[in-house]
Amino acid sequence: MYNYKLLIQYDGTNYAGWQIQKNAHTVQEEISNSIKTILKEEVNLIGSGRTDAGVHALGQAANFKTKAKIDIYRFNHQLNSILPKEISIIKIEEVNENFHARFDAKKRTYIYFISQFKSPFLFRYSFFYHNKINCDALNSLSKILIGQNDFTSFSIKNSETENKICTVYDIIWKNSKDLIIFKIAADRYLHGMVRTIIGTLLYTFEKKYDEKYIMKIIAERNREAAGESVPANGLFLFKVEY
């Protein structure tokens, strides 16, 4: 069997997320069906992780195995020609047969864009947040989340994932002209975790609370203790490292 790794970008606005679901339009389904059309073969397309409905990707990784030896350049061109305009395969490479896009991933990085003024050109890919943001203050608050923690309070209620322990390597808030950019790197994420972290940090900053407030939320292990999630449209899976 041949094993191929894909680097994928997509606009998730009109999709119910990455993972195939019943009665829903997903990115994984679109790519899997397109591969099947070309190879005339069912494949199991494995993503590095799920992205929720409305979330985008600049660097999603996936792999699939096939009996066919693929002409990579030709196959990449064919795949992009039949995929919808919201999905693009940036790169294809042959990898070791044991490579697994999800289980072999060491670090996943997300970025989130926040606009500080109403713009018709930013609304689709950023969250318009009218309150003034101080990145230095938010960077200070974020430090308490770095390291290994139980992120139950930042996950959706009734999550099927039993292990709620994640290791966050870094969180950075940065002011870049018209946008505030939030960046987080971790080994894994729970459902809704990134957007809840952002919403909670913004709420903590607004109320002028300190790090002890964040510590209390972590300790409670209760979703109701944390703040509201920010909208999905500003979130991008930035890159996956192996």
Contacts with 94 (C-beta within 8 Å, 6 or more apart), sequence order: 2, 3, 4, 5, 70, 72
Verify whether residue 11 is a known catalytic residue.
no
Query: What is the 8-class DSSP label of residue 105?
Result: -
Task: Name the catalytic one among 11, 52, 104, 178.
Answer: 52
d(CA 100, CA 98): 6
Q: How far apart are CA 28 and CA 12, in angstroms?
A: 11
CB count, 10 Å around CB of 144? 19
Distance from first CA to last CA of the chain, Å, rounded? Answer: 21
Q: Which DSSP category does 91 fall into?
A: E
116's enclosing H/E stretch is none
The whole-angstrom separation of Cα 10 and Cα 60 is 8
For 103-229, where are the E strands, in sequence order? 107-115, 127-128, 147-150, 165-176, 179-186
Please give the positions annotated as active site: 52
